[in-house]
Amino acid sequence: MKIQLSDSFTITHLEASTNYTIFHFIDGRKEIHAYTLKKYENEFLPTNAFSRIHRRYLVNRQFIASYNESEVFLSCGKKLPVARRRTI
């Protein structure tokens, strides 16, 4: 599955769920896809647009409203954890 560049602008973040990935969109909708988060990170998504903040989350940098050393706050209102060894 190839992610369309236009779609990547509406994805706020991706969430790992075993061998699946949950896509979260700005309009609140979710889609489940049958590839791992690592596969999306390495092969499908634009590398300069997304940051790995946790083993479970990839975040679209465009939607980061603010962050601190332990959490990222998205412009859609979501709050996601940042792993201790990750930097944004």
Under 8 Å between Cβ of 39 and 54: no
What average pLDDT does range 6-21 have in this prediction? 89
Question: Which residues make beta-bridge pairs with 33?
Answer: 21
Any idea which of 5-19, 34-48, 52-66 has the lowest mean pLDDT? 5-19
5-81 placed in CATH 2.40.50.1020? yes
| pLDDT band, residue 84 (cuts 50/70/90) | confident
15 three-class SS: strand
What value, to the nearest 5°, has the Cα angle with vertex 48 and ends 45 and 6? 50
Residue 46 CA from chain centroid, whole number: 11
Domain limits, the chain: 5-81
Instruction: Tell me the pTM.
Output: 0.87
